[in-house]
């Protein structure tokens, strides 16, 4: 997958940059916020029709995204809140970038492309939400190709090569197909788990399946445990 390829090829230079930044004492959360600010500027450039400049700003924002984690590890500042904040700001960055494109296409009366930008915006948000919810309900990671690095790389390529309409077509279709893939995958896994929970093998002393071992079981003391698990937000 592209995500792993990007991480493999950029791991050494990112680690060297993190080694230079860590001694300065800059908080990792400041780097995380910086990525959002740079993406906001990229969105302004998109809205102004300056696509190549916006693509360059997105590269800079992506660099900040890659640096905050390694800097946090070198400074021993890794925290659950830092990961949470990074995920939240990533979602805002996705929305802001597509909003900039939507504004541009509305200004130049290219409404079909504005619609594509809106569909791509919805897909970017929903693919992240669908994968998070799938991972909270069934064993294993979510499925599908269109994670955030793939989407950003395609947007950058579209901006730098002046092929944004083609990129928007792909981004409007691909991530939403991934959402459907996660829906089908989660339905299959939950149905398999439901059948396993009600199978004759589900008797005292019987070995439990891998799915059963990861699904919270209702007990007389906590009959609502499964409902609470299923209702948790992503």
Q: Would you write out the chain's pLDDT as a tens digit for each of its 234 residues?
A: 555 666 566 787 888 898 898 899 899 999 999 999 999 999 999 999 999 999 999 999 999 998 998 999 999 999 899 889 999 999 999 999 999 999 999 999 999 999 999 999 999 999 988 888 888 888 776 677 888 889 999 999 999 999 999 999 999 999 999 999 889 988 988 888 778 777 665 555 545 544 454 544 443 343 333 333 333 334
According to the model, what pLDDT value does residue 220 have?
A: 38
According to the model, what pLDDT value does residue 146 have?
A: 85
According to the model, what pLDDT value does residue 139 have?
A: 77
Percent helix / strand / coil, the chain, rounded to 5: 75, 0, 20
Q: Is 150 helix (H, G, I), strand (E, B) or coil?
A: helix
Domain ranges of the chain: 2-197
Q: Is 222 helix (H, G, I), strand (E, B) or coil?
A: strand
What's the half-sphere exposure (Cβ side, CA atoms, 13 Å) at 206?
13
pTM, rounded to two decimals: 0.77
CB 172 within 8 A of CB 200: no
Burial of 208 (0-12, 13-18, 19+ CB in 10 A): middle
According to the model, what pLDDT value does residue 11 have?
A: 80
The topology (CATH level 3) of 2-197 is 1.20.120
According to the model, what pLDDT value does residue 112 have?
A: 94
């Amino acid at each position: 997958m592209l995500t792993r390829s990007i991480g493999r090829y950029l791991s050494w230079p990112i680690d060297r940059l993190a080694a230079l930044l860590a001694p300065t004492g800059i908080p990792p959360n400041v780097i995380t916020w910086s990525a959002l600010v740079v993406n906001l500027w990229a969105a302004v450039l998109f809205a102004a029709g300056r696509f190549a400049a916006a693509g360059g700003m997105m590269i800079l924002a992506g660099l900040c995204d890659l640096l905050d984690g390694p800097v946090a590890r070198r400074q021993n500042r890794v925290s659950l809140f830092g990961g949470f904040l990074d995920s939240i700001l990533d979602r805002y960055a996705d929305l802001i970038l597509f909003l900039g494109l939507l504004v541009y296409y509305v200004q130049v009366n290219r409404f079909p492309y504005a619609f594509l930008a809106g569909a791509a915006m919805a897909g970017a948000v929903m693919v992240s939400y669908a994968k998070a919810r799938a991972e909270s309900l069934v064993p294993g990671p979510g499925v599908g190709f269109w994670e955030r690095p793939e989407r950003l790389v395609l947007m950058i390529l579209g901006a730098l090569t002046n092929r944004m309409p083609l990129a928007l077509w792909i981004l409007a279709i691909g991530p939403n197909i991934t959402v459907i893939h996660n829906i089908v995958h989660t339905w299959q896994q939950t149905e398999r788990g439901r059948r396993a929970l009600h199978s004759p093998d589900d008797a005292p002393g019987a070995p439990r399946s891998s799915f059963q071992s990861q699904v919270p079981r209702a007990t007389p003391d906590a009959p609502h445990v499964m409902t609470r698990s299923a209702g948790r937000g992503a």
